[in-house]
Amino acid sequence: MDAVIPLALAYLLGSIPFGLVLTRMFGAGDLRAIGSGSIGATNVLRTGRKGLAAATLLLDAAKGGVAVVLAAYFWPQWAPLAGLAAIVGHCFPVWLGFKGGKGVATALGVALALSWPIALACAGVWLAVFATSRISSLGGMSAAAVGPIAAWALGRGELIAALAGIALVVVWRHRANIARLRAGTEPRVGGKQR
């Protein structure tokens, strides 16, 4: 029962659909009817509004970080799982029929709040993969997968389970992207949509 409050709060924070709110607020339409239908920054970018995409990225990362920081202050033993709960909230928000984003930006915010060296490793992998492939989904999944490995390498064993759970959720939310990657039809950022 001790876990109910921190995990529920983290889930609710994670479920705030900043991409959807910002695109509606600034007249870019219903984000769920654009591109992939996701509520994350990559899909916001497809509206052509780079500023809104950047704001979505920062806010989605911030909500993951805030969820962890709040849990670490009031319920420290639940901080790693609060991070996982925030990711679940972003990917499966109750307000949107449990159809949300892919969780990459929120995962970065969670990793940063849990351990900045782990976040740095994840960000470095994202940048390297994205720079060579120009495929956002591939960079995001690679970054998420590195989280538990970095935790193990850095001696942060208490974070491995939560980061592994986050990686599984992120990869699960990218199922359609994985199918397109296998088929060679996954769009590249800056390239033509196929």
Does 35 map to a domain? yes
Is 54 among the domain residues? yes
Cα gap 73→163, rounded to integer Å: 20
CA atoms within 13 A on the CB side of 94: 9
58 CB-near residues (< 8 Å, 6+ apart): none
Give the predicted TM-score (pTM) of the model.
Answer: 0.91
Q: Give the closest residue to 65 by CA, choosing from 121, 133, 113.
A: 113
In this prediction, residue 191 carries a pLDDT of 60
Domain-embedded: residue 191: no
- Within a domain: residue 96? yes
The whole domain housing 122 covers 4-183
Domain count for the chain, please give it. 1
CA pair distance 164, 175, nearest whole angstrom: 17
Whether 167 is in a domain gets the answer yes
- Reduced to 3 states (helix: H, G, I; strand: E, B; else coil), residue 54 is helix
Task: Name the residue among 194, 191, 190, 120 with its Cα closest to residue 150.
Answer: 120
Asked if 87 and 103 count as a contact pair (C-beta separation under 8 A), the reply is yes
Give the pLDDT band (50/70/90) at residue 28: confident
Q: Is residue 192, in this structure, part of any structural domain at all?
A: no
**Cβ–Cβ under 8 Å, residues 61 and 126:** no
Instruction: Report d(CA 72, CA 28) in Å as an integer.
Output: 36
Q: What is the pLDDT of residues 107-149, one digit of tens each?
A: 999 999 999 999 999 999 999 999 999 998 999 999 999 999 9
Tell me, yes or no, whether 139 lies in a domain: yes
Distance CA 91, CA 101 (A): 5
Residue 49's pLDDT is what? 86
* pLDDT tens for each residue of 70-114: 999 999 999 999 999 999 999 999 999 999 999 999 999 999 999
Would residue 21 count as lying in a domain? Answer: yes
Name the residue with tokens 């870019």: 28
Reported confidence tier of residue 194, pLDDT bands at 50, 70, 90: very low
Euclidean distance between CA atoms 82 and 87, whole angstroms: 9
Give Cβ neighbours of residue 127 (< 8 Å, ≥ 6 apart): 139
Q: What is the pLDDT of residue 192?
A: 53
Cα 138-43-105 angle, rounded to 5 deg: 60
